[in-house]
A and B are shown apart, each in its own frame.
Chain A
Amino acid sequence: MSTDILATVAFDDQGYLQNPADWTPELAEALAAQEGIQLTEKHWQVIRFCRAKAAETGKSPTLRQISLGTGIPTKELFQLFPKGPAKRVARIAGLKKPEGCI
């Protein structure tokens, strides 16, 4: 089921959504499932923050910006989105690859 929705949209070679307009909450669920993540309300809190921040600045937020902005500690972000929260959230939230180093 989830694979169907992923087949309908285009991704770049690093797995980021090519056309931001293709993003839907269902797509996020499918992308997360693909990475082995079951989205909870806490995950959605992060996703919503990142999408709002990206809409405001034009850039995907860095990990530190996510932590400061959501109030969710670094440790928890790494539990929610293991192995690189900033990049993972950006992919699931249909955003561009984060550029900042911090």
Chain B
Amino acid sequence: MSHEENRHMAFICSKGNLDMAYPALIMGWAALGNGVDVTIFFTFWGLDIIRKKYMDKLQLPPVGVAGMRTGMMGVPFDVGIPQIMGVLPGMTAVATALMRKKMAELEVPPISEFLQMLQDAGARLYACKMTVDMMGLTREDFMDGVEIVTAGDFIDMTEGAQIVFI
């Protein structure tokens, strides 16, 4: 088509809650499906998304999530859930299970499988070296294919890319 360089999108995942893991994975997958190059950089709490031990155990704590209303649970009244309820024991597990169920219904795969699909489709996954060091982690803590790089390396690798910070 054209002689220009291929379009490149880079996602920065800085949050590790379940609801903050999906945006980059879904948009990244859509980008790959449109022939766009994809790089995902995981930093701070976002590292949980690629940690073998936690990737399929990400949670959705309901406190502070205004969008979580009863309608999501199939209740006819779509009303907000009082924030104080969110701090009760077990509420995070309930909200997490609900979101997992909703995502599965939409044929969205679990995080580990999704990340493997992204890698198979050509996405490059990087862990932020400073956060890795800060948390005392090593390469072994992460899924296969993840490379640990510095923020400077990431900036070099994404020259000209469109950056999405999540």
Contacts and interface: CB of A to CB of B under 8 A. Distances in A.
B117 A74 contact: yes
Chain A interface, >50% SS class: helix
B115 to A, nearest CB: 12
Interface string B8-34: 000000000000000000100110111
B34 A87 contact: yes
A102 interface: yes
Interface string A61-102: 011110100000111001000111111000000000000111
A83 B35 contact: yes
Contact of B29 (A65, A73, A82, A101): A101
Contact of A102 (B34, B35, B108, B120): B108
A87 B32 CA distance: 11
A66 to B, nearest CB: 11
Nearest to A73: B120
A101 B35 contact: no
B33 A86 contact: yes
Given A64-B117, A73-B120, A74-B120, A101 B109 contact: no
A85 B30 CA distance: 11
B34 A84 contact: yes
| Contact count band on B | 10 to 19
A65 B120 contact: no
Given A63-B33, A84-B35, A86-B33, A78 B122 contact: yes
A65 B107 contact: yes
Contacts of A73: 120
A85 B29 CA distance: 12
Interface in B56-82: none
Contacts of A84: 32-35
Contacts of A101: 26, 29-30
A102 B107 contact: yes
Interface of B: 26, 29-30, 32-35, 106-109, 117, 120-122
Given A65-B107, A83-B35, 20 more contacts: A63-B29, A64-B107, A64-B109, A74-B120, A75-B120, A78-B121, A78-B122, A83-B34, A84-B33, A84-B35, A86-B33, A87-B33, A87-B34, A101-B26, A101-B29, A101-B30, A102-B29, A102-B106, A102-B108, A102-B109
26 contacts: A62-B107, A63-B121, A64-B107, A64-B109, A64-B117, A67-B117, A73-B120, A74-B120, A74-B121, A75-B120, A75-B121, A78-B32, A78-B122, A82-B35, A83-B34, A84-B32, A84-B33, A84-B35, A85-B33, A100-B107, A101-B26, A101-B29, A102-B26, A102-B29, A102-B107, A102-B109
